[in-house]
Amino acid sequence: MFISKLCTTFLLPPGCIILGLILIALLFPRQPKFIIGVFILLLYLFSIQPVTDFLLRPLEDTYPPLPADASLSNRGIPDEAEAIVVLGGGTVQGSPDAGRGRDTLKTDALKRAVYAFSLRDRFPGPYILSGGKVFDYGQEAEAVTAAGLFISLGLSPERLILETASRNTWENAKEAAKLGCKQVILVTSAYHIPRSVFCFERNGMSVVPAPADYKCERGRKYDFFSFMPSMDSLYGTYLALHEYIGLFYYRSVYR
């Protein structure tokens, strides 16, 4: 797991750009301008909205969203769907607004959880909250943090199943399969849905994708500021590249 996270850090921006500049400084003391220019151009492209959308949209559009104005059964979801599985997306350890010694969900995880909660009346079954600790820093397992949010929003604790052993998407699916699930409604960020569906199907489950947390804006034309670099766009590019690398790795290893 440590090696996986370390490789990810230096394969994706900004780590890959920093590493490239370090190598240039070491291997080319005179620092040829055209090489530095290439890295500057990459950083610019990774940081603008059109490039981010170009990378993210195919991931987000792989599966359609659940219709907001129809029952789940109208989407062809079988009556025997056993649970809504909600995948984690990170926590903020020791967040003051959560109370002493408690954690809160990061933005992506929070959006997933809130969307999953909105399905509570359309699907009366249990929720599997999936997520443990990638590395143990004394924090809560992410499923525990998510459970606190669901309960505070009014969901009955009896509907919650906490899966606290998984550390990545493949383990999310593997641990859910151990619970005996065969058909699940899968809630995660839209960009993360393709890799998640792959993992759950490879672990023997029938999946109804329920994408949430969309990043790309729809129906808005690009303007001058769309081509100005921003941290939001750089983060979106990071997410997209992370997913493409993850898909390639999972499909190679878990064929």
Q: What is the pLDDT of residue 97?
A: 85
Tokens (6 digits) for 11: 């394969």
Tokens (6 digits) for 74: 């109208």
Rounded to a whole number of angstroms, the CA Rg of the chain reads 20
Residue bearing the bigger pLDDT, 79 or 17: 17
- In terms of Cα–Cα distance, which of 179, 223, 214, 220 is closest to 200? 179
Map tokens 């109370």 to a residue.
Answer: 99
pLDDT in tens, 207-220: 999 999 999 998 88
Give the Cβ contact number of residue 67 at 10 Å.
Answer: 10
Q: What is the pLDDT of residue 183?
A: 93
What is the SS3 assignment for 104?
strand
Give the Cβ contact number of residue 129 at 10 Å.
Answer: 26
Mean per-residue pLDDT, 79-99: 87
Q: Percentage of the chain with pLDDT > 70? A: 85
Integer Cα distance of 138 and 127 in angstroms: 25
pLDDT in tens, 13-24: 666 776 777 677
pLDDT in tens, 93-128: 988 887 777 899 999 999 999 999 999 988 888 999
User: Contacts for 78-81 with beta carbons within 8 Å, 24 or more apart?
Assistant: 78/183, 78/206, 80/182, 80/183, 81/123, 81/125, 81/183, 81/184, 81/185, 81/208
CATH 3.40.50.620, the chain: domain bounds? 72-212
Per-residue confidence band for 237, with pLDDT thresholds at 50, 70 and 90: very high
Phi-psi region of 101 (alpha: psi -120 to 50; beta: other; left: phi over 0): left
What is the SS3 assignment for 119?
coil
Q: Which ranges in the chain belong to alpha helices (H)? A: 2-11, 15-27, 33-46, 49-60, 107-118, 142-153, 169-178, 193-202, 231-253
pLDDT in tens, 175-210: 999 998 899 999 999 999 999 999 999 999 999 999
Q: What is the pLDDT of residue 29?
A: 63
CATH superfamily placement of domain 72-212: HUPs (3.40.50.620)
Per-residue confidence band for 255, with pLDDT thresholds at 50, 70 and 90: confident
Mean pLDDT of the chain: 87
pLDDT in tens, 27-58: 766 666 777 777 778 888 888 899 999 999 99
Which of the 8 DSSP states describes residue 157?
Answer: G
